[in-house]
């Protein structure tokens, strides 16, 4: 056996091509980056929704207070109507 053949037999194994593995890892990194971009985008949307919820609470409070004011006005008007009806009844008795 020649010297070259001896070196070749004792040489460590040549690894497989690494480029496909590097490409695969780069592809996975790109996927992770895309997912992170989506997470950041969704976080921004969640903050937008938080703002809208705050506006809805303010709107609900406005309408609740308005409804309470209107209910008080109706109560006052009903009370005045009752008094007027009593006055009419008194006037009819007198006449």
| pLDDT tens column, 42-76 | 999 999 999 999 999 999 999 999 999 999 999 99
| Predicted local confidence at residue 31, as pLDDT | 98
Q: Give the range of the structural domain holding residue 32, as residue numbers without chain letter.
A: 25-94
pTM greater than 0.75: no
Residue 95 pLDDT > 80, yes or no?
A: no
Q: From 65, 84, 86, select the one nearest 76 (Cα to Cα).
A: 84
Domain membership flag for residue 79: yes
Residue 2 pLDDT > 90, yes or no?
A: no
Domain membership flag for residue 73: yes
- What's the number of domains the chain is made of? 1
Residues with Cβ within 8 Å of residue 88, at least 6 apart in sequence: none
């Amino acid at each position: 056996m020649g010297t070259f053949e001896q070196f070749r037999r004792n040489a460590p194994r040549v690894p497989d091509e690494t480029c496909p593995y590097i490409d695969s890892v780069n592809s996975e990194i790109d996927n992770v980056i895309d997912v992170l971009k989506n997470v950041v985008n969704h976080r921004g949307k969640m903050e937008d929704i938080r703002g809208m919820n705050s506006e809805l609470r303010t709107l609900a409070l406005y309408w609740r207070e308005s409804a309470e004011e209107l209910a008080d006005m109706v109560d006052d008007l009903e009370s005045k109507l009752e008094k007027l009806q009593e006055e009419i009844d008194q006037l009819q008795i007198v006449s």
